[in-house]
Amino acid sequence: MSETKYRYGIIGTGIPWREEGSSGFGMAHAHYPSMMKNERAELVAFSELQDSRAQYFQQKQNTKVSHYHSYTEMLAKENLDIVSICTWPHLHAEITVAAVDAGVKAIYCEKPMATNWGDCKRMKAAADEKGVLLCFNHQRRHIKLFQEVRRAVQEGEIGEIVQIEAECGNLYDWGTHWLDMMFFYNNDEPAEWVIGQINSSTENVAFGAKMEDQAVLNFKWKNGVRGTMVTGDLAKIGAVHRLIGTDGVIEVLNERNYRILGKGIGEWKHIEVPQGDWSDLALAAKDVVRALDEPGYKPLISADHAIQSTEIIFATYRSSQIHGRVDLPLSYDGNGLLDLMSAGAFGK
């Protein structure tokens, strides 16, 4: 393996979740130590608009690398190989395209991808055109339990997979992870259509992006498997994820425990899967570096995967807007939720 040291930069530092002054998760404080654990990347600069947050990052992470107020200036001057984009979603597209144009080799961007479907496609098209590795932080693909569940499905422990179900608090922010996991369990098979309904009767905002407060959606993958998700405070299916096969069921209870009722098993078998020494974030960062070392290798957090699950989100919004099924690929580039809000569709 190459011992190249990759020049690494971060855009947007923020303040870590639940610390004074935090307005989000401050994911730069997770990206940086995760990337450094690989010992293959060297932080050479970061950009942050607010001096107080820049100083906090330098102190918290014990680094004195160059601080830029302008990410475009940093991209122009630092000849970066890898960039972490840790800003809010509405900025992801313009920063991604700027990083691609600046010659960055790999972009490790926070999720969700963007706040409308057109920007999601624009980001991926820009990276694809210039051969830039674009990844999104769907790091839960590196959680050992989810990988174990995927293995059990692939090896037929519950027969042929028929349906995958999930529950979570919202479709846009948390749902992007669970939809990604649903695709992961189903070997990233392309989806064929989506039908869904959303409601927004309360203010629900994450990282500057407006979200629904309830949703129900059903979709079909091209291999015939069905996907179902419910979101909102009252959304309960009795498990985080449920995978239904012709010969059994797997229920994921949390990120460390699942249970299976499968072939030759007369009652629920409970299984705990520890994560190990490397966190999912550190393994995701390692995967980005591996993709630079091994041309042609597709990391688990590749944009090729993220674009498919993200399409389900915006197709659900569009389905609710048009009161009907949306066949994929999704052609509407906007955000149906925002359109419905603007039209006063949800009332008070």
The H or E element that residue 261 is part of is strand 257-261
Same-domain check for residues 206 and 230: yes
CATH number of residue 312's parent domain: 3.30.360.10
The Cα 213–Cα 200 span in angstroms is 5
The Cα 131–Cα 176 span in angstroms is 25
Same-domain check for residues 158 and 86: no
Whole-angstrom distance between the N-terminal and C-terminal Cα of the chain? 59
Q: Which two tokens stand for residue 227?
A: 């996907």
Same-domain check for residues 195 and 322: yes
Q: What is the reported pLDDT for 264? A: 82
The Cα 77–Cα 271 span in angstroms is 51
Identify whether 298 is part of a domain: no
Same-domain check for residues 18 and 157: no
Same-domain check for residues 12 and 131: yes
CATH number of residue 40's parent domain: 3.40.50.720
Same-domain check for residues 111 and 145: no
- Return left, alpha or beta for 163; rule: phi > 0 is left, psi -120 to 50 is alpha, else beta: beta
Helix axis angle, 144-154 to 175-185, nearest 10°: 30
Q: What is the reported pLDDT for 1? A: 47
Nearby residues of 256 by Cβ (< 8 Å), 6 or more positions away: 145, 272, 273, 274, 275
∠ Cα 339 85 22 (to 5°) = 80
| Residue 250 identity (one-letter amino acid) | I
DSSP state of 159: B
Same-domain check for residues 149 and 229: yes
Identify whether 300 is part of a domain: no
Q: Which two tokens stand for residue 9?
A: 């930069």
Nearby residues of 222 by Cβ (< 8 Å), 6 or more positions away: 189, 190, 191, 192
Same-domain check for residues 119 and 259: no
Same-domain check for residues 166 and 312: yes
Digit-by-digit pLDDT tens for the chain (348 residues) are 457 799 999 999 988 776 776 677 799 999 999 999 988 999 999 999 999 999 999 999 999 999 999 999 999 999 999 999 999 999 999 999 999 999 999 999 999 999 999 999 999 999 999 999 999 999 999 999 999 999 999 999 999 999 999 999 999 999 999 999 999 999 999 999 999 999 998 889 888 899 999 999 999 999 999 999 999 988 899 999 999 999 999 999 999 999 999 888 889 999 999 999 999 999 999 999 999 999 999 999 999 999 999 999 999 999 999 999 999 999 999 999 999 999 999 865
Nearby residues of 294 by Cβ (< 8 Å), 6 or more positions away: none
Nearby residues of 20 by Cβ (< 8 Å), 6 or more positions away: none
Angstrom CA distances, 320 to 24, 58, 97, 212, stand at 29, 45, 30, 11
Same-domain check for residues 336 and 266: yes
| Beta carbons of 78 and 67 less than 8 angstroms apart | no
The Cα 10–Cα 45 span in angstroms is 7
Count CB neighbours of 118 within 10 A: 15
Residue 39 belongs to what domain range? Answer: 6-138+283-291
Identify whether 68 is part of a domain: yes
Same-domain check for residues 183 and 167: yes
DSSP string, 293-309: HSTT---TTBHHHHHHH
Q: Which two tokens stand for residue 58?
A: 């330098």
Q: What is the reported pLDDT for 206? A: 86
Identify whether 148 is part of a domain: yes
Q: Which of 193, 240, 186, 195 is nearest to 216 (CA)?
A: 195
Tell me how many domains the chain contains.
Answer: 2
Nearby residues of 226 by Cβ (< 8 Å), 6 or more positions away: 162, 163, 164, 218, 219, 220
Identify whether 317 is part of a domain: yes
Q: What is the reported pLDDT for 2? A: 56
| Beta carbons of 135 and 301 less than 8 angstroms apart | yes
Same-domain check for residues 124 and 170: no
